[in-house]
C-alpha cells in the first residue's frame, strides 16, 4: 500500500517581469534628435550615444535605469563631461531638466506603449 499523498498546494501567480530594455526606442532617440547637451547632430564618424539618466529614475550604483530614461548625447558630452564631472553638475551647468526631456522623448516615441509600462 502507498503512503498518503501530500495535498496539492496552489502556487501564487507569477508576477510578470517588466522589461527595462527597448532597443528600438534607443535607436529612435539617437537617430531623430540632436545632442541634449550641446545640440550637435551625430555623424557617421561620431554617432550620438544613448545616455541613461540616473537622477531620480530608479537607477543606482549597479542598476541601469530603464530605457524610458534615455536621451541623446554626443561622445564629448556623454563620456567626457556627464560621466567625468558628474551627472548633476553636467545638467546644472546647462540649466536643463533632463528628466522632463526624457519624459517628452518617451511620450513622442513610437514605442510609447512599451515604455509606459517601464519603471
Q: If residue 91 lies in a helix (H) or strand (E), which one and from where to where?
A: helix 87-94
pLDDT band at 57 (very low <50, low <70, confident <90, very high): confident
3-state secondary structure 23-55: HHHHHHHHHHCCCCCCCCCCCCCCCCEEEECCC
| Number of domains composing the chain | 1
CA gap 56, 37 in Å, rounded: 19
Q: What's the whole-number mean pLDDT along residues 80-88?
A: 89
What range defines the domain where residue 107 resides? 27-116
Domain assignment of residue 44, yes or no = yes
Q: 3-15, pLDDT tens digit by residue? A: 888 888 888 877 7
Closest residue by Cα to residue 78 from 53, 61, 56, 55: 53
pTM higher than 0.85 for the full model?
no
Domain assignment of residue 19, yes or no = no
CA gap 57, 117 in Å, rounded: 14
Amino acid at each position: 500500500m502507498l503512503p498518503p499523498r501530500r495535498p496539492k498546494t496552489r502556487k501564487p501567480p507569477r508576477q510578470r517581469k517588466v522589461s527595462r530594455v527597448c532597443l528600438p526606442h534607443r535607436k529612435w532617440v539617437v537617430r531623430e534628435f540632436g545632442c541634449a547637451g550641446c545640440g550637435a547632430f551625430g555623424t557617421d564618424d561620431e554617432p550620438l550615444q544613448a545616455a541613461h539618466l540616473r537622477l531620480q529614475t530608479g537607477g543606482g550604483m549597479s542598476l541601469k535605469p530603464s530605457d524610458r530614461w534615455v536621451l541623446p548625447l554626443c561622445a564629448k558630452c556623454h563620456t567626457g563631461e556627464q560621466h567625468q564631472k558628474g551627472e548633476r553638475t553636467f545638467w546644472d551647468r546647462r540649466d536643463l531638466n533632463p528628466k522632463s526631456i526624457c519624459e517628452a522623448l518617451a511620450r513622442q516615441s513610437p514605442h510609447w506603449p512599451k515604455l509606459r509600462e517601464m519603471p
